[in-house]
Amino acid sequence: MKEFNTDVLIVGSGLVGLVAAHSLSNLNYKVTLIDKKNFNNPKKVFGDTRTVAVSEGSKNFLESLSLWSYIKNNAEPVKTIKVYDRSSSNKILFNNQIKNKKLGYVVENKKFSKILVNQLKKYKKTNIHYDFDLIDIKFEKGYSRAFSKKNIINSKIIIAADGKNSQIRTIVGTKIFKKKYNESALVLNFVHEKKLNNTAFEIFYKTGPLAILPMKSPKGISQSSVIWSNSEKFLKKLTSCESIFIRSFMEEKIGKIVGSIYKINSIQIFPLSAHINESFINQRLIYVGDAAHSIHPIAGQGWNLGINDVKNLYEISQKNTTDIGSDSFCQTYNDNSYHKAFQLFQLTDKLNSHFIKPGNLYRLLSNIGVGFVEKNQSLKNQITKYAMGV
Ligand SMILES: Cc1cc2nc3c(=O)[nH]c(=O)nc-3n(C[C@H](O)[C@H](O)[C@H](O)COP(=O)(O)OP(=O)(O)OC[C@H]3O[C@@H](n4cnc5c(N)ncnc54)[C@H](O)[C@@H]3O)c2cc1C
């Protein structure tokens, strides 16, 4: 059995764990990042075909960590968002109101992750261990211990970034409030005819919202990602069809916007659920990202919320250099992060159920609501600023 000491142990090298590793390495902590998967195996790294819509607020934070300059060449800026209520006559147009700011930046998860891993190498005190099979966690006076079959890692604090099915929650017994949706999300990346000119689209169908995000592409090629919430049964049936059928089916749905669909690059289904932990802390342990909260992707804010956790962690660590895992440190983190996460958890849940529930209330609100928002510039500005995370 080998035993290691580190200041900070981060469990999970997803897009939130990696940014947490950057932020604390940047403050000169000795950081150890572990993951149960082996991301040196390229098949595992490239398994996730999703994109993330980075908000202006998250981009600013990445900039402060000197990371944005490496990401921006892979990021497609979004300048306008068009929201349709099924019919193109009923739409809301969100434009960016703040000079030189965008509504978001679409980045492919796999490229994002690769850049973050590469850039982490510049921190000599930071280490990544893959294939780490965490089996237990214990808290001692002044430090915590993480056990695998072969190793023990002692640290001042454990940062749980192990995703929405967090094993750490089970090990230490943190309870959650969970919401199961009878929906999944189809993520379809494809090459198409029409240029989107930095515009993202969200169409609210009765069965669930469909978003089209423009992706960074080589010159002369238009590439986008569709994220479509629908029943799992329907999506499984659709994806089991021949590519030529899927293309013509999608052209019927979104052809007005994207034109002909030339090629489908990838297609994946993600079951949807949401949760929030009863607390984001447990002794010398804090939860960040999806390990703390997962939300419906309707507003494309899940990762951005995780970055808000990391930003809080970074700011508290900057001020508190004495004991990074102390009770007061963890409590301040919980106080600063929980409220916003709870609000967004509620908001995305309500937004989703409002738009998919059939019946009078649905029809009334969706018809009056969309038109009302479109006419109300100050409300539009507020929603825009919220989406931008500024
Ligand atoms: C269809 C869809 C579209 C989305 N689009 C957007 C968007 O546009 N914008 C946005 O902000 N958010 C979006 N999200 C949400 C976003 O994808 C997640 O919030 C984000 O990826 C969570 O990152 P994470 O690092 O917290 O967790 P994860 O990405 O789940 O990473 C967890 C990591 O922990 C590792 N791990 C798990 N268990 C262990 C263990 N026991 N020991 C060690 N390691 C472990 C895993 O291998 C993994 O590497 C979307 C979500 C979905 C489903």
Q: Nearest Cα to 284, choosing from 141, 150, 84?
A: 141
Which residue is it, tokens 């021949």? 242
Q: Tokens in use for 91? A: 């739409």
Q: Nearest Cα to 14, choosing from 42, 34, 40?
A: 34
Confidence at residue 7, expressed as pLDDT on a 0 to 100 scale = 97
Residue 235 resides in a domain: no
Q: Are 176 and 319 in contact (CB under 8 A)?
A: no
Instruction: Tell me the best of 32, 36, 215 to mutate to test the pocket of ligand 1, counting ligand atoms within 8 Å of each CB and taking the most.
Output: 36
Q: Please state which of the ranges 44-58, 245-259, 352-366 shows the lowest mean pLDDT.
A: 352-366
Give the mean model confidence (pLDDT) for residues 232-239.
Answer: 96
Report how far ligand 1's centroid is from the alpha carbon of 340 (Å). 19
Number of structural domains (the chain) is 1
How many Å apart are CA 10 and CA 30, to the nearest integer? 11
pLDDT greater than 50 at residue 359: no
Average pLDDT, the chain: 89
Confidence at residue 181, expressed as pLDDT on a 0 to 100 scale = 86
How many Å apart are CA 227 and CA 211, to the nearest integer? 5
Q: Nearest Cα to 185, choosing from 225, 228, 233?
A: 228
Report how far ligand 1's centroid is from the alpha carbon of 163 (Å). 5
How many Å apart are CA 130 and CA 41, to the nearest integer? 10
How many Å apart are CA 72 and CA 183, to the nearest integer? 33
Which of 354 and 31 is assigned the larger pLDDT? Answer: 31
In sequence order, the 6+-apart residues with CB closer than 8 A to the CB of 35 are 11, 12, 13, 17, 128, 129, 130, 131, 132
**Strands 76-78, 104-108: pairing kind:** antiparallel
Q: Is the CA virtual torsion 70, 36, 3, 7 positive or negative?
A: positive
Report how far ligand 1's centroid is from the alpha carbon of 268 (Å). 15
Name the DSSP letter for residue 296. Answer: -
Confidence at residue 365, expressed as pLDDT on a 0 to 100 scale = 46
Q: Are 294 and 166 in contact (CB under 8 A)?
A: no
Q: Tokens in use for 169? A: 């929650």
**Strands 143-147, 136-140: pairing kind:** antiparallel
Angle, vertex CA 62, rays to CA 227 and CA 220, nearest 5? 50
Confidence at residue 364, expressed as pLDDT on a 0 to 100 scale = 44
pLDDT category at 361 given cuts 50, 70, 90 is: very low
Which of 1 and 65 is assigned the larger pLDDT? Answer: 65
Residue 370 resides in a domain: no
Report how far ligand 1's centroid is from the alpha carbon of 139 (Å). 26
Q: Which atom of ligand 1 is nearest to the CA of 12?
A: 34
Q: Tokens in use for 279? A: 């607390």
Q: Nearest Cα to 222, choosing from 250, 247, 258?
A: 258
Most confident of 90-99, 126-135, 199-208: 126-135
Confidence at residue 381, expressed as pLDDT on a 0 to 100 scale = 63
Instruction: Tell me the best of 11, 38, 49, 50 to mutate to test the pocket of ligand 1, counting ligand atoms within 8 Å of each CB and taking the most.
Output: 50
How many Å apart are CA 361 and CA 358, to the nearest integer? 8
Report how far ligand 1's centroid is from the alpha carbon of 48 (Å). 10
Instruction: Tell me the best of 33, 35, 114, 151 to mutate to test the pocket of ligand 1, counting ligand atoms within 8 Å of each CB and taking the most.
Output: 35
Confidence at residue 99, expressed as pLDDT on a 0 to 100 scale = 60
Alpha carbon separation from 231 to 85, 123, 164, 198, 269 (Å, rounded): 19, 45, 21, 29, 11
pLDDT greater than 60 at residue 370: no
Residue 371 resides in a domain: no
Confidence at residue 366, expressed as pLDDT on a 0 to 100 scale = 52
Q: Which atom of ligand 1 is nearest to the CA of 301?
A: 11
Report how far ligand 1's centroid is from the alpha carbon of 9 (Å). 18
Q: Are 192 and 262 in contact (CB under 8 A)?
A: yes
pLDDT in tens, 90-118: 566 666 655 667 789 999 999 999 999 99
Report how far ligand 1's centroid is from the alpha carbon of 14 (Å). 6
How many Å apart are CA 191 and CA 173, to the nearest integer? 45
Q: Which atom of ligand 1 is nearest to the CA of 50?
A: 3
CATH label of the domain that carries residue 281: 3.50.50.60
pLDDT in tens, 286-329: 999 999 999 988 878 999 999 999 999 999 999 877 799 999 99
Report how far ligand 1's centroid is from the alpha carbon of 363 (Å). 34
229 bridge partner residues:
185
Q: Which atom of ligand 1 is nearest to the CA of 307?
A: 11
Confidence at residue 19, expressed as pLDDT on a 0 to 100 scale = 98
Q: Are 137 and 158 in contact (CB under 8 A)?
A: yes
pLDDT in tens, 29-70: 999 999 999 877 766 555 788 999 999 999 999 999 999 999
pLDDT greater than 60 at residue 12: yes
Amino acid symbol at 208: G
Which of 246 and 364 is assigned the larger pLDDT? Answer: 246
Confidence at residue 378, expressed as pLDDT on a 0 to 100 scale = 62
Residue 205 resides in a domain: no
pLDDT greater than 90 at residue 135: yes
Q: Are 45 and 110 in contact (CB under 8 A)?
A: yes
Residues with CB under 6 Å of ligand 1 are 11-17, 34-37, 50, 52-53, 132, 134, 161-163, 167, 185, 187, 227, 270, 289-291, 297, 300-304, 306
- For 133, the domain range is 2-78+105-179+273-356
Confidence at residue 379, expressed as pLDDT on a 0 to 100 scale = 58
Alpha helix positions (H), the chain: 15-26, 42-45, 56-64, 68-71, 109-120, 167-172, 232-239, 243-258, 302-319, 327-356, 360-375, 377-388
Give the mean model confidence (pLDDT) for residues 155-162.
Answer: 98
Give the mean model confidence (pLDDT) for residues 367-388.
Answer: 57
